Amino acid sequence: MNKRLLHIACLTALLTTQVFAAEEVKAPEAPAVVTEAEPPNDTTIATVNGQQFPLGLFRLFYAERLRTARAENTPEFQNLAFNEFVNIIVTSQDAKTRGLESNPELAYALELQKMQLLSRLVLEQTASTIHPSDADIKKVYDDQVAKLDRLEYKARHILVKEEDEAKKIIKELDGGKKFEDLAKAHSDGPTGKNGGDLGWFDATQMVPAFSEVIVEMKPGTYTKTPVQTQFGWHVILLEETRKMEPPTLESVKPEIIASLQREGLTKYIGELQEKAKVELNPDLIKQTPTEAKPEAKPEAK
């Protein structure tokens, strides 16, 4: 896009912001939403400088604004969006008056936008025809659960600033002192007041230096040497382990279906690329020839 078009785009955004912030220009209030019957898309929602604009155009704009702003559909947001819509209309009309419609960069931008919209529509249409079977969904679920076959740990720790202090605490544990009491008395961490209780956790939730030690420990044991992390020096007590409970199939079913649909779309696009006859301009795109693999030599008998 050339500088002139870029400046126009920026100016439109700035004007829109200023209008809503300072209320220097007021667009007409958005028409009240009719709940009894939805008007057709070809209904005129506004006539600006003698040019009629259909409701379908505003609906498309409004849906996009809701998505990008992550806003709720409220009367206030409808008025806000309608005001923006009118601002786009009057500025685009002025752009046509100035002869900017013939700018070649605009033609490229419109063609690209059309291609992107058509691509999105056909992908949505194709995705709607992909209906994974219960067996396919169950297989993906079982595969994922198998990968989640790991342990959770229930542990306590005592965190101190100096290694020597941690060593003294280990000696006290060797002498029969209770871990919880020592944690309450010496631990600098927020869990100290609870006897160093960390609750149940997955090893990946901890910093590597901590998790690498705890996965090698046996329940009921504590570290015989201090463990250093960026937080200080730890003495760790592993109390229990258990297998991590996987999520239920029903709770992750929508995600699995979406994943299988994405796989189907990837296959669909790949098939289109395989069938497409693509001829590249060698003056613009330099292709690196695929290196031929050496033929395998026959084995000596």
Sign of the dihedral through C-alpha 70, 74, 77, 78: positive
What topology is assigned to 149-243 in CATH?
Answer: Chitinase A; domain 3 (3.10.50)
State the pLDDT at residue 4: 36
Q: What is the pLDDT of residue 130?
A: 96
pLDDT value, residue 148: 77
> Residue 156's beta-bridge partner residues?
197, 237
CB atoms within 10 A of CB 46: 19
Name which of 175, 169, 150 is nearest 245 in CA terms: 150
The full set of domain ranges for the chain reads 3-98, 149-243
Per-residue model confidence as pLDDT tens for the chain (301 residues): 333 333 333 323 322 333 333 333 344 444 544 445 688 999 999 999 999 999 999 999 999 999 999 999 999 999 999 999 999 999 999 999 999 999 989 999 999 999 999 999 999 999 999 999 999 999 999 998 888 768 999 999 999 999 999 999 999 999 999 999 999 999 998 999 999 999 999 898 999 999 999 999 999 999 999 999 999 999 999 999 998 888 899 999 999 999 999 999 999 999 999 999 988 888 888 766 654 445 554 444 4
Given this model, what pLDDT does residue 19 score? 33
Helix or strand or coil: residue 83? helix
Q: Which residue from 141, 146, 155, 157 is spatially nearest to 243, judged by alpha carbons?
A: 146
Supply the pTM of this predicted model.
Answer: 0.52
Spatial CB neighbours of 169, under 8 Å, sequence gap ≥ 6? 158, 160, 182, 186, 235
Confidence (pLDDT) at 287: 65
Say how far apart CA 94 and CA 151 lie, in whole Å. Answer: 66
Q: What is the pLDDT of residue 284?
A: 85
pLDDT of amino acid 17: 33
pLDDT reported for residue 21: 33
